[in-house]
Amino acid sequence: MLSSTATAFEIIMIEDDMGHAHLIKKNLARAGICNKIQHFDNGQKALDFFFNEDSNMDADKLLVLLDLNLPEVDGYEILKRLKSDTRTDKIPVVILTTTDNPREVDKCYELGCNAYVTKPVEYDNFSEAIQKLGLLLAIVKLPNIKHD
Amino acid sequence: MGKPLKVVKYNSQSRVYYQLLMITVLFMSFFGFSLFLSGAFNKVKSADDKLVKEYELTRAYRRLYVDLLNMETGVRGFQITGSQALLEPYTTANAKLTNDLDLAKQKAKEIPGEYQQIEHWEDSIINYASLLDAQVKNKNNYRDAIPSAADLIQQKQSMDMLRDQIGNRINNKLSEIEKTYIENNKLSRNYSIAIIFGNIMFFGLCVGAFMFILRRERALMHAEERIKKSENLYRTVLDAVNDGVFEYDIDTRNIFLSQAHQNALGYDFHASGVDAEQYSHHIHPDDMPKFAEQITAMIAGERNSYQTELRLMRANGEYVWHMSRTFSLRDASDRVTKIVGINVNIDEQKKREIELEHLNAELETFTYVTSHDLRSPLVNLKGFSKELQFSIKDLDKEIEKITDKIDKNHQQQINEIIHKDIGESVNFIISSVDRMDNLTKALLDLARIGRYEIKLEKIDVKQLVETCVDSLGFEIKENNIELSVHDLPIVVSDKVALTQIFGNLIENAIKYRRDDITSKIEISCTTGPSEYRFSIKDNGRGIDDADKGKIFELFRRARNVGQVRGEGLGMAYVRATIRRLGGDIDFTSKVGEGTNFIFTIPKKLITSSSDTTPEAIET
């Protein structure tokens, strides 16, 4: 598989469904993605990670996989916060959710998401979609965030 | 309503013109009559002046004539007697002669043609006077002097001529004067008659005008009374009617509200009305901009009537839904002067409508959210059961590697556990999850119908049905189905929705066919007054009476469906779609004979412009 050393970034997966999280990890691994994956099962925990003072986040080495239906703080709110803060607005955010309502897709792009991927119910398709996403992630080039 | 007003106005305007014309004619005739009178007066006066002059001239002639006679008489008596006393008339007359001649000349100058006459006489008179003078001197000098016969003849001729001419002239003048006098008399009598006639006419006109004004005034009073009466009736009716009536005067910006309307809302405005600005606070602020915009459009004359639903505030601050219908009234110059309207209380039905809309929206949202939320666990169910299958395969491979180390009995048992127990279980899970997935998808589709935006276009239904039939071509050929499509109309409707309706109904007719006879499907259409009635008729299994009520229900399937698979959502979906298009569906059926589905779609679909639809239904 592709070398992941060129894109040594960490994947932040925000997903409340443990089953989904497990299946996503499994299929990303099948696509050869062996980057570190940090998993948050709750919106607030994710926000704490990004915005807490004592968080040791390295913003230019992150990529976010974000679900929309989350407890406490939902995906839209997280997306909005990430994209409206200069510290985090360059982090690529991929929405990964079951919803395929065009209205919600539009809303996410308006809020500044970088890609929107629907989780297919059919597992063959699901597996394929996640693996393709993995292949994409393997060649993604992250922005160079300048620290003033 | 604008027209009769216009006519009335036009009539009164023409009446004003008519009156102005009458006054002008009156004035003109009065003026003309005055002109005529003064003309006639001048004529009479100048005729009289002329008569006076003629008369004075005649008198001057007469004095001259008498002077001459006196002179002759005096001289004759003096000659015969030589008495100075008899000469006296001559002396007196002779002394006056020059004066009288001058006077006559002066008077003659004022009358054309007379002066030449007197100039002609003057020479003869002076001649004659000097002749007499010579005779008197001669007698004074010679007491016995007798004038010669020739002198006497000359004197007689002169005197005769003068006496004839002057005398005749005087006589002529006198008869002329008499004639003129009679004429003048006639003239002045005519003048008097004209004055009297004129006065009578004038008086008559005055009386006529007075009568006319009196009659007009009375008619106006009657009209006013009638208007007052009908206005009272109008107000009484307004007050009696429960629906609120309002009247907005654009010039005064005054709004009149019927008593019943005020009572219903708890207002207590002055009988003469209320200022528009003040009234506008009684309309719900959310409804005000649209209402104001429409009223402005009506004042501008862009539209004549308007209908809207709005909330009016009761005195206690509570809002009540009203249906407001307004009309504009125009004056003769086509300017909008008034806006009248009827406000009908629709609060209850409106509230129910809103409630229904909310319920509908809630139901839709519920269906939508539920079916979405169901999909999340489905992903896991599907995913992990598939992963289990993968694991079984992996396990198989691993076991294969060590088969020689396991005895036959155990091999058999392991095989059974892995493939029968675990494998079958997993398969059941997968097929059930698939079915559940289909159900949620179907639910989602049903929920989407309500949100579906209808796009109207012209559709050749025959062509549309043939497309549907083509896509089912395989099943039709395979099962030897005789499918006939009769004449179908061209309609204005939604193509996608109509395709789904026909597709589902034809598919059902194929699915639920009888295998023991040749299946026949017939598609036809009849036209009603306001709708098309489509019929899809088959000779299939038919529907049992006990199942008839369930056909359009969600997730219900009839008992005689046999091996036919389906989610049991088809007909519910079809009915919801047809209703969305403004039509409905029903069927007749008999077990063993077949089913005839009949659905209608309106000829004219009114797409509800959902002005009042709450936001909830959109999301």
Strand bridging mode B319-330 / B305-313 = antiparallel
Report how far Cα B606 is from the mean position of its chain's Cα atoms: 29
Residue B564 has pLDDT above 90, yes or no: no
Helices (H), strands (E): how many in chain B? 14, 13
Residue B167 has pLDDT above 70, yes or no: yes
Q: Which residues of B touch A124 (CB under 8 A)?
A: 386
Q: Which residues of A touch B387 (CB under 8 A)?
A: 23, 26, 123
pLDDT tens digits for range B107-130: 888 888 788 888 888 888 888 888
Residue B264's alpha-carbon distances to B235, B320, B488, in angstroms, are: 16, 10, 54
Of A69, A121, A124, the CB nearest to B379: A121
Q: What is the mean pLDDT of residues B563-586?
A: 78
Measured between alpha carbons, how far is B511 from B229 in angstroms, rounded to an integer?
76
Measured between alpha carbons, how far is A116 from A111 in angstroms, rounded to an integer?
12
Report how far Cα B85 is from the mean position of its chain's Cα atoms: 113
Phi first, then psi, for residue A125 (nearest 5°) are -70, -40
pLDDT tens digits for range B7-65: 344 456 677 787 788 888 888 888 888 888 888 888 888 888 888 888 888 888 888 88
Q: Token pair of B385, please?
A: 């059961």
- By C-alpha distance, the chain A residue nearest B369 is A99
Residues 6+ apart with CB under 8 A from A111: A76, A79, A80, A83
- By C-alpha distance, the chain A residue nearest B437 is A121
B383 touches chain A (CB under 8 A): yes
Q: Which residues of A touch B437 (CB under 8 A)?
A: 121-122
Please give the helix or strand (H or E) that residue B255 lies within, else none.
strand B254-257
Q: Do residue A20 and residue B437 have CB atoms under 8 angstroms apart?
A: no
A10-139, which class in CATH?
Answer: alpha beta
Q: Which of A93, A100, A74 is nearest to A142 (CA)?
A: A93
Measured between alpha carbons, how far is B92 from B386 in angstroms, rounded to an integer?
178
Phi first, then psi, for residue B419 (nearest 5°) are -90, -40
Q: What is the mean pLDDT of residues B407-427?
A: 87
Beta bridge partners of B313: B319
Residue B427 has pLDDT above 60, yes or no: yes
- Residue A144 C-alpha, separation from nearest chain B C-alpha, in angstroms: 36
B437 touches chain A (CB under 8 A): yes
Q: Do residue B376 and residue A98 have CB atoms under 8 angstroms apart?
A: yes
Measured between alpha carbons, how far is B267 from B202 in angstroms, rounded to an integer?
61
- By C-alpha distance, the chain A residue nearest B431 is A122
Helix, strand and coil percent figures for chain B, each rounded to 5: 65, 15, 20
Residue B94 has pLDDT above 70, yes or no: yes
Q: Do residue B384 and residue A126 have CB atoms under 8 angstroms apart?
A: no
Q: Do residue B380 and residue A19 have CB atoms under 8 angstroms apart?
A: yes
Of A19, A119, A122, the CB nearest to B384: A19
Helix axes B570-580, B424-451, angle to 10 degrees: 10
Residue B51's alpha-carbon distances to A59, B185, B470, in angstroms, are: 138, 11, 128
* Interface of chain A toward chain B, CB-CB under 8 angstroms: 17, 19-20, 23, 26, 69, 98-99, 119-124, 126-127
Helices (H), strands (E): how many in chain A? 5, 5
Q: What's the pLDDT score for residue B569?
A: 62
Mean pLDDT of chain B: 83
The one-letter amino acid at B486: H
Q: What is the mean pLDDT of residues B526-546?
A: 90
Q: What's the pLDDT score for residue B609?
A: 37
Q: Token pair of B127, please?
A: 């001649």
Q: Which residues of B touch A23 (CB under 8 A)?
A: 379-380, 383-384, 387
Q: List, in sequence order, every beta strand (DSSP E) within A1-135.
A: 10-14, 37-40, 62-66, 93-97, 115-118
Q: Do residue A69 and residue B382 have CB atoms under 8 angstroms apart?
A: no
* Residue of A117, A121, A124, A125 to mutate when probing chain B, most B C-beta within 10 A: A121
Beta bridge partners of B619: none
Of A17, A99, A120, the CB nearest to B380: A17
Measured between alpha carbons, how far is B571 from B552 in angstroms, rounded to an integer?
5
Q: What's the pLDDT score for residue B463?
A: 92
Residue B433 contacts residue B385 (beta carbons within 8 Å)? yes
Q: What's the pLDDT score for residue B140?
A: 82
Of A26, A99, A122, the CB nearest to B382: A122
Q: Do residue A17 and residue B382 have CB atoms under 8 angstroms apart?
A: no
CATH of B241-345, one of 3.40.50.1950, 3.30.360.10, 3.40.50.1000, 3.30.450.20: 3.30.450.20
Residue B586 has pLDDT above 80, yes or no: yes
Q: Do residue B379 and residue A99 have CB atoms under 8 angstroms apart?
A: no
Q: Do residue A98 and residue B384 have CB atoms under 8 angstroms apart?
A: no
Could you give the residue ranges of the DSSP H alpha helices within A17-74?
A: 18-30, 43-51
The CATH architecture assigned to B452-617 reads: 2-Layer Sandwich (3.30)
Instruction: Specify the higher pLDDT residue, A4 or B619.
Output: A4
pLDDT-derived band at B74, boundaries 50, 70, 90: confident
Of A26, A99, A123, the CB nearest to B382: A123
Residue B291 contacts residue B320 (beta carbons within 8 Å)? no
**Unique residue bearing structure tokens 């991927």:** A117
Residue B252 has pLDDT above 90, yes or no: no
Residue B154 has pLDDT above 60, yes or no: yes
Q: Mean pLDDT per segment of 10 residues, for chain A of length 148 residues?
A: 56 91 89 88 89 76 88 89 88 87 88 89 84 81 61
pLDDT tens digits for range B292-315: 888 888 888 888 888 888 898 888
**Unique residue bearing structure tokens 């003129």:** B180
Q: Do residue B376 and residue A17 have CB atoms under 8 angstroms apart?
A: yes
Beta bridge partners of B532: B527, B601
Return residues 146-185 of B near A (CB < 8 Å). none
pLDDT-derived band at B275, boundaries 50, 70, 90: confident
Measured between alpha carbons, how far is B518 from B520 in angstroms, rounded to an integer?
6
Measured between alpha carbons, how far is B513 from B459 in angstroms, rounded to an integer?
29
Residue B619 has pLDDT above 60, yes or no: no
pLDDT tens digits for range B519-532: 999 999 999 888 99
Q: What is the mean pLDDT of residues B553-560?
A: 61
Measured between alpha carbons, how far is B413 from B431 in angstroms, rounded to an integer?
25
Helix axes B84-109, B2-81, angle to 10 degrees: 160
